[in-house]
Amino acid sequence: MARTAPHRRTLIPTLLGAMMVMAACGNAGADTSEEATSSATAPAAEGEQEAVQGGTLRVAFREDIENYDPHQRPQLVARTVSRNIADTLTDQDPETGEIVPWLAESWEISEDVTEFTFQLRQDVTFSDGTPLTAEVVKANFDRIIDIGPLAFVSAGLLRGYVESEVTGEHEVTVRFEEPNAQFLQATAVQSLSILAPATLDLPPEEVAAGNVIGSGPFTLESYDPNDGIHLAVREDYAWGSPLYENEGRAYFDEVEISFITESTTQAGAVASGQVDYAYPLAAESVPGLAESQAELHPTVMPAIAIPIVPLLHREVFEDERTRRALSLATDREALVNSAFQGLYEPATGVLTPSNPGYADLSDLLDHDPEEAERLLEEAGWTEIGPDGIRATPDGERLSVEIQYTSTTYETMFELLQHQWAQAGIEFILTPVADLSDYSIHDYPFDLSTWSQTRADADVLRTVYSSFYENQSFLLGHADEEVDDLLATLQSTVDEQDRLVVSEEVQRLLVERGYTVPLFDLTQYSAYHQLTGVGADLEGKPLFVDFRRAD
Protein backbone atom coordinates (compact mmCIF):
# COMPACT_ATOMS: atom_id res chain seq x y z
CA MET A 1 0.00 0.00 0.00
CA ALA A 2 1.34 3.40 -0.95
CA ARG A 3 1.61 5.87 1.93
CA THR A 4 1.02 9.61 1.84
CA ALA A 5 2.36 12.08 4.38
CA PRO A 6 -0.04 13.61 6.86
CA HIS A 7 -0.41 17.38 7.15
CA ARG A 8 -0.08 18.52 10.73
CA ARG A 9 1.40 21.17 12.94
CA THR A 10 3.34 20.41 16.11
CA LEU A 11 5.00 23.02 18.27
CA ILE A 12 8.55 22.39 19.42
CA PRO A 13 8.36 21.54 23.15
CA THR A 14 9.23 24.24 25.66
CA LEU A 15 12.30 23.78 27.80
CA LEU A 16 11.71 21.55 30.79
CA GLY A 17 13.63 21.68 34.01
CA ALA A 18 15.74 24.69 33.09
CA MET A 19 18.38 25.26 35.76
CA MET A 20 19.95 28.33 37.29
CA VAL A 21 23.66 28.44 36.59
CA MET A 22 26.64 30.56 37.65
CA ALA A 23 29.63 32.12 35.93
CA ALA A 24 32.64 29.83 35.85
CA CYS A 25 35.37 32.26 34.94
CA GLY A 26 36.40 35.88 35.12
CA ASN A 27 34.57 37.25 32.09
CA ALA A 28 32.22 39.32 34.23
CA GLY A 29 31.80 42.91 33.25
CA ALA A 30 31.22 42.09 29.60
CA ASP A 31 29.06 44.58 27.73
CA THR A 32 25.53 43.22 27.90
CA SER A 33 23.84 46.39 26.68
CA GLU A 34 23.42 45.21 23.09
CA GLU A 35 19.67 44.69 23.23
CA ALA A 36 17.51 43.93 20.23
CA THR A 37 16.68 47.08 18.33
CA SER A 38 12.99 47.39 17.61
CA SER A 39 12.97 47.37 13.83
CA ALA A 40 9.65 45.55 13.58
CA THR A 41 7.27 43.42 15.58
CA ALA A 42 6.08 39.93 14.76
CA PRO A 43 2.35 39.20 15.00
CA ALA A 44 1.34 37.56 18.27
CA ALA A 45 -1.49 35.25 19.17
CA GLU A 46 -4.42 36.77 21.06
CA GLY A 47 -3.39 37.58 24.63
CA GLU A 48 0.34 37.37 23.87
CA GLN A 49 2.82 40.23 23.62
CA GLU A 50 4.16 40.92 20.13
CA ALA A 51 7.74 39.70 19.65
CA VAL A 52 10.31 42.35 18.77
CA GLN A 53 12.31 41.80 15.60
CA GLY A 54 15.87 43.04 15.23
CA GLY A 55 19.27 42.96 16.91
CA THR A 56 22.08 40.43 17.01
CA LEU A 57 22.09 36.96 18.51
CA ARG A 58 25.58 36.26 19.88
CA VAL A 59 26.52 32.59 19.85
CA ALA A 60 29.63 30.74 21.06
CA PHE A 61 30.53 27.38 19.52
CA ARG A 62 33.22 25.26 21.14
CA GLU A 63 34.95 24.32 17.91
CA ASP A 64 35.37 25.25 14.28
CA ILE A 65 35.34 22.21 12.01
CA GLU A 66 36.38 24.34 8.99
CA ASN A 67 33.92 22.77 6.56
CA TYR A 68 30.35 24.05 6.24
CA ASP A 69 29.14 22.12 3.22
CA PRO A 70 25.98 20.38 4.52
CA HIS A 71 26.62 17.43 2.21
CA GLN A 72 30.20 16.87 3.33
CA ARG A 73 30.61 16.99 7.09
CA PRO A 74 28.66 15.12 9.79
CA GLN A 75 29.97 17.03 12.82
CA LEU A 76 27.38 18.67 15.05
CA VAL A 77 28.65 22.24 14.60
CA ALA A 78 28.44 21.96 10.82
CA ARG A 79 24.96 20.44 11.00
CA THR A 80 23.86 23.25 13.33
CA VAL A 81 24.82 25.87 10.76
CA SER A 82 23.15 23.81 8.03
CA ARG A 83 19.95 23.57 10.05
CA ASN A 84 19.68 27.37 10.11
CA ILE A 85 20.60 28.18 6.50
CA ALA A 86 19.15 25.24 4.58
CA ASP A 87 15.96 23.20 4.72
CA THR A 88 15.23 19.51 4.17
CA LEU A 89 12.43 17.65 2.42
CA THR A 90 10.98 16.50 5.75
CA ASP A 91 11.45 17.08 9.46
CA GLN A 92 11.27 14.74 12.47
CA ASP A 93 9.21 15.44 15.59
CA PRO A 94 11.44 15.41 18.70
CA GLU A 95 8.61 14.10 20.88
CA THR A 96 7.16 11.34 18.70
CA GLY A 97 9.83 10.62 16.07
CA GLU A 98 7.17 11.15 13.40
CA ILE A 99 8.33 12.32 9.96
CA VAL A 100 6.42 15.47 8.96
CA PRO A 101 6.28 17.47 5.68
CA TRP A 102 8.55 20.43 5.04
CA LEU A 103 9.90 21.28 1.58
CA ALA A 104 8.00 18.20 0.46
CA GLU A 105 4.33 18.77 1.30
CA SER A 106 3.46 15.11 0.72
CA TRP A 107 4.96 11.86 -0.54
CA GLU A 108 4.12 8.37 -1.68
CA ILE A 109 6.23 5.23 -1.22
CA SER A 110 6.02 2.24 -3.54
CA GLU A 111 4.91 -1.13 -2.21
CA ASP A 112 8.45 -2.50 -2.50
CA VAL A 113 9.95 0.62 -0.84
CA THR A 114 12.31 1.30 -3.75
CA GLU A 115 10.58 4.47 -5.01
CA PHE A 116 9.79 7.66 -3.10
CA THR A 117 7.72 10.28 -4.91
CA PHE A 118 7.73 13.75 -3.35
CA GLN A 119 5.34 16.61 -4.05
CA LEU A 120 7.21 19.85 -3.36
CA ARG A 121 5.93 23.13 -2.02
CA GLN A 122 5.57 25.73 -4.75
CA ASP A 123 6.32 28.85 -2.71
CA VAL A 124 9.94 28.16 -1.72
CA THR A 125 12.94 30.09 -2.99
CA PHE A 126 16.63 30.01 -2.20
CA SER A 127 18.26 33.17 -0.87
CA ASP A 128 19.50 34.08 -4.38
CA GLY A 129 15.91 34.06 -5.65
CA THR A 130 16.09 30.69 -7.42
CA PRO A 131 12.87 28.68 -6.96
CA LEU A 132 12.78 25.20 -5.48
CA THR A 133 11.90 22.68 -8.20
CA ALA A 134 12.11 18.94 -8.74
CA GLU A 135 15.18 19.51 -10.95
CA VAL A 136 16.95 21.14 -8.00
CA VAL A 137 16.20 18.17 -5.70
CA LYS A 138 17.50 15.77 -8.35
CA ALA A 139 20.66 17.86 -8.77
CA ASN A 140 21.30 17.78 -5.01
CA PHE A 141 21.10 13.99 -4.76
CA ASP A 142 23.17 13.54 -7.94
CA ARG A 143 25.81 15.91 -6.57
CA ILE A 144 26.13 13.88 -3.35
CA ILE A 145 26.85 10.76 -5.37
CA ASP A 146 29.27 12.64 -7.64
CA ILE A 147 31.51 13.97 -4.84
CA GLY A 148 31.75 10.44 -3.44
CA PRO A 149 33.99 10.01 -0.37
CA LEU A 150 33.76 13.71 0.49
CA ALA A 151 30.09 13.11 1.26
CA PHE A 152 30.52 9.83 3.08
CA VAL A 153 27.54 10.24 5.43
CA SER A 154 25.25 11.75 2.80
CA ALA A 155 26.20 9.09 0.26
CA GLY A 156 25.53 6.41 2.85
CA LEU A 157 21.99 7.72 3.25
CA LEU A 158 21.62 7.31 -0.53
CA ARG A 159 23.19 3.84 -0.71
CA GLY A 160 21.72 1.93 -3.65
CA TYR A 161 20.65 5.18 -5.35
CA VAL A 162 19.65 4.67 -8.98
CA GLU A 163 18.24 8.02 -10.04
CA SER A 164 15.91 10.89 -9.31
CA GLU A 165 13.32 11.23 -12.04
CA VAL A 166 11.63 14.59 -12.53
CA THR A 167 7.96 13.82 -13.20
CA GLY A 168 6.69 17.39 -12.90
CA GLU A 169 7.97 20.84 -12.04
CA HIS A 170 7.36 20.11 -8.37
CA GLU A 171 7.31 16.30 -8.37
CA VAL A 172 10.34 14.04 -8.15
CA THR A 173 10.69 10.28 -7.76
CA VAL A 174 13.83 8.94 -6.05
CA ARG A 175 14.67 5.32 -6.95
CA PHE A 176 16.88 2.72 -5.27
CA GLU A 177 18.18 -0.67 -6.33
CA GLU A 178 16.50 -2.43 -3.43
CA PRO A 179 14.12 -1.64 -0.55
CA ASN A 180 15.39 1.35 1.41
CA ALA A 181 13.33 1.61 4.59
CA GLN A 182 15.60 4.24 6.16
CA PHE A 183 15.39 6.80 3.34
CA LEU A 184 12.30 8.72 4.43
CA GLN A 185 13.86 9.44 7.83
CA ALA A 186 17.11 10.31 6.05
CA THR A 187 15.33 13.15 4.21
CA ALA A 188 15.02 14.90 7.61
CA VAL A 189 18.79 14.78 8.20
CA GLN A 190 20.95 17.85 7.50
CA SER A 191 23.30 15.76 5.37
CA LEU A 192 20.53 15.74 2.75
CA SER A 193 19.87 19.49 2.93
CA ILE A 194 18.61 20.94 -0.34
CA LEU A 195 21.00 23.59 -1.70
CA ALA A 196 20.68 26.12 -4.51
CA PRO A 197 21.94 25.27 -8.03
CA ALA A 198 24.57 28.02 -7.75
CA THR A 199 26.09 26.17 -4.78
CA LEU A 200 25.96 22.79 -6.50
CA ASP A 201 27.97 24.23 -9.41
CA LEU A 202 30.90 25.20 -7.16
CA PRO A 203 33.91 22.96 -6.43
CA PRO A 204 33.48 21.12 -3.10
CA GLU A 205 36.30 23.06 -1.46
CA GLU A 206 34.56 26.38 -2.17
CA VAL A 207 31.33 25.13 -0.64
CA ALA A 208 33.27 23.86 2.38
CA ALA A 209 34.68 27.38 2.81
CA GLY A 210 31.19 28.73 3.45
CA ASN A 211 29.88 29.51 -0.03
CA VAL A 212 26.52 27.91 0.69
CA ILE A 213 23.13 29.11 -0.54
CA GLY A 214 20.09 27.47 1.02
CA SER A 215 16.40 28.15 1.51
CA GLY A 216 16.62 28.53 5.29
CA PRO A 217 15.66 31.41 7.62
CA PHE A 218 19.23 32.78 7.60
CA THR A 219 21.93 33.22 4.97
CA LEU A 220 25.60 32.44 5.52
CA GLU A 221 27.13 35.85 4.86
CA SER A 222 30.71 35.09 5.86
CA TYR A 223 32.96 32.55 7.50
CA ASP A 224 36.48 33.16 8.73
CA PRO A 225 38.33 30.80 11.10
CA ASN A 226 39.60 33.83 13.01
CA ASP A 227 36.42 35.91 13.04
CA GLY A 228 33.71 33.25 13.14
CA ILE A 229 30.48 32.95 11.17
CA HIS A 230 28.00 35.69 10.29
CA LEU A 231 24.40 34.75 9.48
CA ALA A 232 21.86 37.31 8.21
CA VAL A 233 18.08 37.01 8.39
CA ARG A 234 15.95 36.34 5.31
CA GLU A 235 13.19 38.91 5.30
CA ASP A 236 10.99 36.83 2.98
CA TYR A 237 11.25 33.47 4.77
CA ALA A 238 7.73 31.98 5.02
CA TRP A 239 7.98 28.17 4.86
CA GLY A 240 9.46 27.11 8.17
CA SER A 241 9.13 23.54 9.42
CA PRO A 242 5.75 22.79 11.04
CA LEU A 243 7.80 21.97 14.12
CA TYR A 244 8.99 25.57 14.43
CA GLU A 245 7.07 27.93 16.69
CA ASN A 246 7.83 30.64 14.14
CA GLU A 247 7.34 29.60 10.52
CA GLY A 248 8.21 33.04 9.15
CA ARG A 249 10.98 35.62 9.43
CA ALA A 250 13.36 35.06 12.34
CA TYR A 251 13.21 37.53 15.22
CA PHE A 252 16.91 38.43 15.16
CA ASP A 253 18.42 40.32 12.23
CA GLU A 254 21.70 38.47 12.41
CA VAL A 255 23.61 35.76 14.23
CA GLU A 256 27.27 36.28 15.12
CA ILE A 257 28.99 32.97 15.89
CA SER A 258 32.39 32.96 17.59
CA PHE A 259 34.59 30.02 18.44
CA ILE A 260 35.56 29.68 22.14
CA THR A 261 37.50 26.45 22.44
CA GLU A 262 38.28 26.64 26.17
CA SER A 263 35.26 25.11 27.89
CA THR A 264 35.16 27.20 31.08
CA THR A 265 35.65 30.39 29.07
CA GLN A 266 32.71 29.47 26.85
CA ALA A 267 30.51 28.72 29.87
CA GLY A 268 31.59 31.92 31.60
CA ALA A 269 30.80 33.96 28.50
CA VAL A 270 27.17 32.87 28.47
CA ALA A 271 26.79 33.04 32.25
CA SER A 272 28.01 36.65 32.31
CA GLY A 273 25.98 37.70 29.27
CA GLN A 274 28.99 38.22 27.02
CA VAL A 275 27.21 35.89 24.59
CA ASP A 276 23.53 34.98 24.43
CA TYR A 277 23.87 31.29 23.65
CA ALA A 278 26.66 28.72 24.06
CA TYR A 279 26.67 25.33 22.34
CA PRO A 280 27.65 22.63 22.94
CA LEU A 281 28.91 22.86 26.52
CA ALA A 282 31.63 20.55 27.80
CA ALA A 283 30.43 18.35 30.66
CA GLU A 284 33.09 19.65 33.04
CA SER A 285 31.80 23.22 32.70
CA VAL A 286 28.14 22.43 33.52
CA PRO A 287 28.33 21.75 37.30
CA GLY A 288 30.31 24.93 37.90
CA LEU A 289 27.55 27.06 36.41
CA ALA A 290 25.31 27.45 39.43
CA GLU A 291 24.01 30.89 40.24
CA SER A 292 23.73 33.26 37.29
CA GLN A 293 20.77 34.23 35.14
CA ALA A 294 21.71 31.75 32.43
CA GLU A 295 19.67 28.61 31.87
CA LEU A 296 20.61 25.14 30.69
CA HIS A 297 18.97 23.15 27.91
CA PRO A 298 19.87 19.41 27.92
CA THR A 299 19.14 17.05 25.03
CA VAL A 300 19.65 13.28 25.30
CA MET A 301 21.12 12.50 21.92
CA PRO A 302 19.52 9.80 19.71
CA ALA A 303 22.90 8.46 18.74
CA ILE A 304 25.50 5.76 18.99
CA ALA A 305 26.50 5.65 22.65
CA ILE A 306 29.99 7.16 23.04
CA PRO A 307 32.37 4.21 22.60
CA ILE A 308 35.96 3.16 22.57
CA VAL A 309 36.55 1.40 19.25
CA PRO A 310 39.39 -1.12 18.73
CA LEU A 311 41.01 -0.50 15.34
CA LEU A 312 41.04 -3.76 13.42
CA HIS A 313 44.12 -3.00 11.33
CA ARG A 314 46.20 -3.15 14.50
CA GLU A 315 47.79 -6.52 15.26
CA VAL A 316 46.97 -6.39 18.97
CA PHE A 317 43.25 -6.60 18.14
CA GLU A 318 43.27 -9.49 15.69
CA ASP A 319 41.78 -11.75 18.41
CA GLU A 320 38.22 -10.84 19.35
CA ARG A 321 38.83 -12.08 22.90
CA THR A 322 41.31 -9.26 23.45
CA ARG A 323 38.82 -6.75 22.08
CA ARG A 324 35.97 -8.14 24.19
CA ALA A 325 38.10 -8.03 27.34
CA LEU A 326 38.28 -4.24 27.11
CA SER A 327 34.53 -3.99 27.62
CA LEU A 328 34.47 -6.48 30.49
CA ALA A 329 37.28 -4.58 32.24
CA THR A 330 35.30 -1.32 32.05
CA ASP A 331 33.27 0.01 34.98
CA ARG A 332 30.90 2.39 33.20
CA GLU A 333 29.11 3.70 36.26
CA ALA A 334 32.40 4.69 37.88
CA LEU A 335 33.41 6.42 34.64
CA VAL A 336 30.36 8.66 34.37
CA ASN A 337 30.29 9.46 38.08
CA SER A 338 33.95 10.40 38.28
CA ALA A 339 34.69 11.84 34.82
CA PHE A 340 31.35 13.55 34.16
CA GLN A 341 29.93 14.20 37.65
CA GLY A 342 26.96 11.96 36.87
CA LEU A 343 25.72 14.24 34.04
CA TYR A 344 25.66 11.30 31.63
CA GLU A 345 24.21 7.80 31.94
CA PRO A 346 26.31 4.62 31.60
CA ALA A 347 25.75 2.96 28.24
CA THR A 348 23.29 0.06 28.25
CA GLY A 349 23.53 -0.61 24.52
CA VAL A 350 25.33 0.31 21.34
CA LEU A 351 22.64 2.96 20.74
CA THR A 352 21.26 5.41 23.27
CA PRO A 353 17.73 4.85 24.67
CA SER A 354 16.41 7.88 22.74
CA ASN A 355 17.32 6.23 19.41
CA PRO A 356 14.33 4.35 17.95
CA GLY A 357 16.58 1.33 17.31
CA TYR A 358 17.78 1.03 20.91
CA ALA A 359 18.27 -2.45 22.37
CA ASP A 360 19.00 -3.03 26.06
CA LEU A 361 22.29 -4.96 26.20
CA SER A 362 22.94 -4.48 29.89
CA ASP A 363 23.64 -8.19 30.23
CA LEU A 364 26.66 -7.78 27.93
CA LEU A 365 27.96 -4.56 29.49
CA ASP A 366 28.47 -5.62 33.09
CA HIS A 367 31.81 -4.89 34.73
CA ASP A 368 33.37 -8.36 34.99
CA PRO A 369 37.16 -8.14 35.44
CA GLU A 370 37.47 -11.85 36.20
CA GLU A 371 35.94 -12.75 32.83
CA ALA A 372 38.18 -10.17 31.17
CA GLU A 373 41.24 -11.86 32.65
CA ARG A 374 40.00 -15.30 31.57
CA LEU A 375 39.59 -14.14 27.96
CA LEU A 376 43.03 -12.53 27.96
CA GLU A 377 44.56 -15.76 29.22
CA GLU A 378 42.81 -17.65 26.39
CA ALA A 379 44.06 -15.09 23.87
CA GLY A 380 47.66 -15.83 24.88
CA TRP A 381 48.37 -12.96 27.30
CA THR A 382 49.48 -15.40 29.97
CA GLU A 383 52.54 -13.73 31.49
CA ILE A 384 52.19 -10.99 34.12
CA GLY A 385 55.06 -8.57 34.63
CA PRO A 386 56.14 -6.89 37.89
CA ASP A 387 53.94 -3.86 37.02
CA GLY A 388 50.89 -6.10 36.56
CA ILE A 389 50.77 -5.74 32.77
CA ARG A 390 50.23 -8.89 30.76
CA ALA A 391 52.43 -10.23 27.96
CA THR A 392 52.70 -13.23 25.68
CA PRO A 393 55.23 -15.98 26.49
CA ASP A 394 57.62 -14.46 23.94
CA GLY A 395 57.51 -11.09 25.70
CA GLU A 396 55.00 -9.07 23.64
CA ARG A 397 53.46 -6.61 26.06
CA LEU A 398 49.66 -6.04 26.13
CA SER A 399 49.92 -2.34 25.45
CA VAL A 400 47.32 -0.29 23.57
CA GLU A 401 47.48 3.40 22.67
CA ILE A 402 45.07 6.18 21.83
CA GLN A 403 46.08 9.50 20.32
CA TYR A 404 43.71 12.46 20.60
CA THR A 405 43.57 16.14 19.77
CA SER A 406 40.90 17.26 22.27
CA THR A 407 41.03 17.02 26.04
CA THR A 408 37.24 16.51 26.27
CA TYR A 409 37.58 12.88 27.27
CA GLU A 410 41.05 12.98 28.84
CA THR A 411 39.79 12.41 32.40
CA MET A 412 37.71 9.48 31.17
CA PHE A 413 40.75 8.01 29.43
CA GLU A 414 42.76 8.30 32.64
CA LEU A 415 40.08 6.40 34.55
CA LEU A 416 40.00 3.71 31.86
CA GLN A 417 43.76 3.52 32.11
CA HIS A 418 43.42 2.65 35.79
CA GLN A 419 40.53 0.20 35.30
CA TRP A 420 42.18 -1.69 32.45
CA ALA A 421 45.46 -1.94 34.34
CA GLN A 422 43.61 -4.06 36.93
CA ALA A 423 43.10 -6.66 34.17
CA GLY A 424 46.71 -6.36 32.96
CA ILE A 425 46.14 -4.01 30.02
CA GLU A 426 48.47 -1.03 29.59
CA PHE A 427 46.58 1.94 28.11
CA ILE A 428 48.86 4.68 26.74
CA LEU A 429 47.40 8.18 26.34
CA THR A 430 49.06 10.42 23.76
CA PRO A 431 47.70 13.93 23.16
CA VAL A 432 48.73 15.28 19.74
CA ALA A 433 48.21 18.53 17.85
CA ASP A 434 46.83 17.08 14.62
CA LEU A 435 45.62 13.77 13.15
CA SER A 436 44.47 15.08 9.77
CA ASP A 437 47.15 13.15 7.86
CA TYR A 438 45.46 9.86 8.79
CA SER A 439 42.17 8.06 8.28
CA ILE A 440 40.62 5.67 10.78
CA HIS A 441 42.04 2.83 8.69
CA ASP A 442 45.69 3.81 8.99
CA TYR A 443 45.92 5.47 12.40
CA PRO A 444 49.33 4.61 13.93
CA PHE A 445 47.65 3.68 17.23
CA ASP A 446 45.14 1.14 18.47
CA LEU A 447 41.93 2.77 19.69
CA SER A 448 39.59 5.53 18.65
CA THR A 449 36.29 7.01 19.74
CA TRP A 450 33.50 8.11 17.43
CA SER A 451 29.77 8.59 17.71
CA GLN A 452 27.23 9.54 15.07
CA THR A 453 23.90 11.17 15.84
CA ARG A 454 20.85 10.07 13.90
CA ALA A 455 17.37 9.10 15.10
CA ASP A 456 17.32 5.79 13.25
CA ALA A 457 19.01 2.43 13.83
CA ASP A 458 20.46 2.69 10.33
CA VAL A 459 23.20 4.90 11.82
CA LEU A 460 24.89 1.60 12.71
CA ARG A 461 25.41 0.86 9.01
CA THR A 462 27.42 4.02 8.53
CA VAL A 463 29.80 3.39 11.42
CA TYR A 464 30.05 -0.39 11.89
CA SER A 465 29.70 -1.89 8.42
CA SER A 466 32.58 -2.42 6.00
CA PHE A 467 30.91 -0.25 3.34
CA TYR A 468 32.25 3.29 3.63
CA GLU A 469 35.81 4.43 3.11
CA ASN A 470 35.91 7.37 5.50
CA GLN A 471 33.72 6.24 8.37
CA SER A 472 33.08 2.49 8.56
CA PHE A 473 35.34 0.92 11.16
CA LEU A 474 35.13 -2.54 9.58
CA LEU A 475 36.26 -1.40 6.12
CA GLY A 476 38.87 -3.90 4.95
CA HIS A 477 37.97 -6.26 7.80
CA ALA A 478 34.45 -7.23 6.83
CA ASP A 479 32.35 -9.37 9.12
CA GLU A 480 29.91 -10.93 6.66
CA GLU A 481 27.26 -11.59 9.29
CA VAL A 482 27.38 -8.01 10.55
CA ASP A 483 27.26 -6.58 7.02
CA ASP A 484 24.32 -8.81 6.07
CA LEU A 485 22.35 -7.76 9.13
CA LEU A 486 23.05 -4.07 8.50
CA ALA A 487 21.94 -4.43 4.88
CA THR A 488 18.80 -6.18 6.11
CA LEU A 489 18.19 -3.36 8.55
CA GLN A 490 18.32 -0.86 5.68
CA SER A 491 15.75 -2.77 3.64
CA THR A 492 13.36 -3.99 6.37
CA VAL A 493 10.14 -2.00 6.49
CA ASP A 494 8.17 -3.48 9.39
CA GLU A 495 9.01 -1.57 12.58
CA GLN A 496 9.06 -4.59 14.88
CA ASP A 497 11.13 -6.64 12.43
CA ARG A 498 13.63 -3.75 12.25
CA LEU A 499 13.95 -3.75 16.03
CA VAL A 500 14.71 -7.48 16.01
CA VAL A 501 17.44 -7.02 13.38
CA SER A 502 18.78 -3.97 15.19
CA GLU A 503 19.17 -5.88 18.46
CA GLU A 504 20.78 -8.85 16.73
CA VAL A 505 23.46 -6.78 15.03
CA GLN A 506 24.15 -4.73 18.17
CA ARG A 507 24.70 -7.93 20.16
CA LEU A 508 27.21 -9.13 17.59
CA LEU A 509 29.06 -5.81 17.70
CA VAL A 510 29.53 -6.09 21.46
CA GLU A 511 30.15 -9.85 21.64
CA ARG A 512 32.83 -9.71 18.95
CA GLY A 513 34.49 -6.68 20.48
CA TYR A 514 33.95 -4.28 17.61
CA THR A 515 32.86 -1.58 20.03
CA VAL A 516 33.06 -0.79 23.73
CA PRO A 517 30.02 1.40 24.57
CA LEU A 518 30.79 3.75 27.46
CA PHE A 519 28.08 6.34 28.08
CA ASP A 520 24.97 7.98 26.64
CA LEU A 521 25.69 11.55 25.64
CA THR A 522 23.48 14.38 26.84
CA GLN A 523 24.23 17.55 24.89
CA TYR A 524 24.06 20.73 26.95
CA SER A 525 23.58 24.28 25.76
CA ALA A 526 23.07 27.43 27.83
CA TYR A 527 21.36 30.73 27.10
CA HIS A 528 21.13 34.16 28.69
CA GLN A 529 18.07 36.45 28.57
CA LEU A 530 16.44 34.63 25.67
CA THR A 531 13.09 33.01 25.18
CA GLY A 532 11.78 30.68 22.50
CA VAL A 533 14.94 28.61 22.78
CA GLY A 534 14.28 25.24 21.19
CA ALA A 535 16.11 22.47 19.42
CA ASP A 536 15.48 19.71 16.94
CA LEU A 537 15.65 16.00 17.67
CA GLU A 538 19.47 16.08 17.72
CA GLY A 539 19.66 19.10 20.02
CA LYS A 540 20.64 21.51 17.23
CA PRO A 541 19.36 25.03 18.06
CA LEU A 542 16.59 26.56 15.96
CA PHE A 543 17.69 30.20 15.76
CA VAL A 544 14.50 31.14 13.90
CA ASP A 545 12.55 30.76 17.17
CA PHE A 546 15.01 32.59 19.46
CA ARG A 547 14.01 36.03 20.72
CA ARG A 548 15.15 38.44 23.37
CA ALA A 549 13.49 37.98 26.76
CA ASP A 550 11.75 40.99 28.29
pLDDT in tens, 443-475: 999 999 988 888 899 999 989 999 877 678 999
pLDDT range class, residue 40, cuts 50, 70, 90: low
Q: Return the pLDDT at 550.
A: 75
Q: Give per-residue pLDDT as tens, 485-497.
A: 999 998 888 889 9
What integer pLDDT is reported at residue 400 of this predicted model?
Answer: 98
Dihedral of alpha carbons 261, 267, 268, 271, sign:
positive
Domains of the chain by residue range:
56-301+524-548, 306-520
Q: What pLDDT shows up at residue 42?
A: 53
Among 18-32, 166-180, 516-530, name the one with the lowest average pLDDT: 18-32
Q: Please give the pLDDT value at position 35.
A: 31
Contact in structure between 538 and 16 (CB atoms under 8 Å):
no
Is the model more confident about 2 or about 35?
2
More confident residue, 319 or 470: 319
What are 228's strand-pairing partners? Answer: 224
CA angle at 138 for the pair 135 and 141, rounded to the nearest 5°: 150
Q: What is the average pLDDT value for the chain, to the nearest integer?
A: 89
Are 56-301+524-548 and 306-520 equal in CATH topology?
no
**195: three-class secondary structure by DSSP:** coil
Q: What is the mean pLDDT of residues 315-337?
A: 97
pLDDT tens digits along 357-378: 999 999 999 999 999 999 999 9
| pLDDT exceeds cutoff 80 at 46 | no
- Which sign does the torsion angle of CA 138, 468, 332, 286 carry? negative
On whether the CB atoms of residues 485 and 464 are closer than 8 A, the answer is no
Instruction: Report the SS3 class of residue 54.
Output: coil
467 phi/psi in degrees, rounded to 5: -90, -30
pLDDT of amino acid 23: 27
Structure confidence at residue 441 (pLDDT): 82
Q: How far apart are the first and last CA of the chain?
A: 51
- Residue 472 has a pLDDT of 87
Is the pLDDT assigned to residue 249 strictly greater than 50?
Answer: yes
56-301+524-548, which class in CATH? alpha beta
**What are the counts of helices (DSSP H) followed by strands (DSSP E) for the chain?**
14, 26
- Under CATH, domain 306-520 is a member of which superfamily? Dipeptide-binding Protein; Domain 3 (3.10.105.10)
Read off the pLDDT of each residue in 18-44 and give the average, rounded to a whole number: 34
SS3 141: helix
Strands (E), 320-440: 345-346, 383-384, 390-391, 399-404, 426-431
Per-residue pLDDT band at 300 (split at 50, 70, 90): confident
Q: What is the pLDDT of residue 2?
A: 39
Identify any residues that bridge with 222 across adjacent strands, giving them in sequence order.
230
Beta 516-520 vs 306-310: how paired, if at all?
A: antiparallel
Nearest to 125 by CA among 223, 197, 220: 197
Answer for the pair 355, 456: CB distance below 8 angstroms, yes or no.
Answer: yes
**Contact yes or no for 208/202 (Cβ under 8 A):** no
Bridge-based pairing of strands 56-61 and 254-259 is: parallel
Question: Based on the number of CB atoms within 10 Å of its own CB, is 61 exposed (0-12), middle (13-18) or buried (19 or more)?
Answer: buried
Please, which residues have CB within 8 angstroms of residue 394's CB and are 6 or more apart in sequence? none
The C-alpha atoms of residue 327 and residue 366 are separated, in whole angstroms, by 8
pLDDT at 542 over 90: yes
Q: How far is the C-alpha of 486 from the C-alpha of 491, rounded, in Å?
A: 9
- Average confidence (pLDDT) over 223-231: 95
Q: What is the pLDDT of residue 49?
A: 54
3-state helix, strand, coil in the chain (%, to 5): 25, 25, 50
Give CA 317 to chain center in angstroms: 28
- Radius of gyration of the chain from Cα atoms? 24
Q: In Å, what is the CA distance from 252 to each residue of 79, 85, 176?
A: 20, 14, 41
**Long-range CB pairs of 46-55, under 8 A, 24+ apart, other chains included:** 49/550, 51/251, 51/532, 51/547, 52/251, 52/547, 52/548, 53/249, 53/250, 53/251, 53/252, 53/253, 54/251, 54/252, 54/253, 55/252, 55/253, 55/548
Instruction: Provide mean pLDDT across the span 251-269.
Output: 95
- Write the CA distances from 147 to 59, 158, 408, integer angstroms: 31, 13, 32
Could you tell me what percent of the chain has a pLDDT over 90?
75
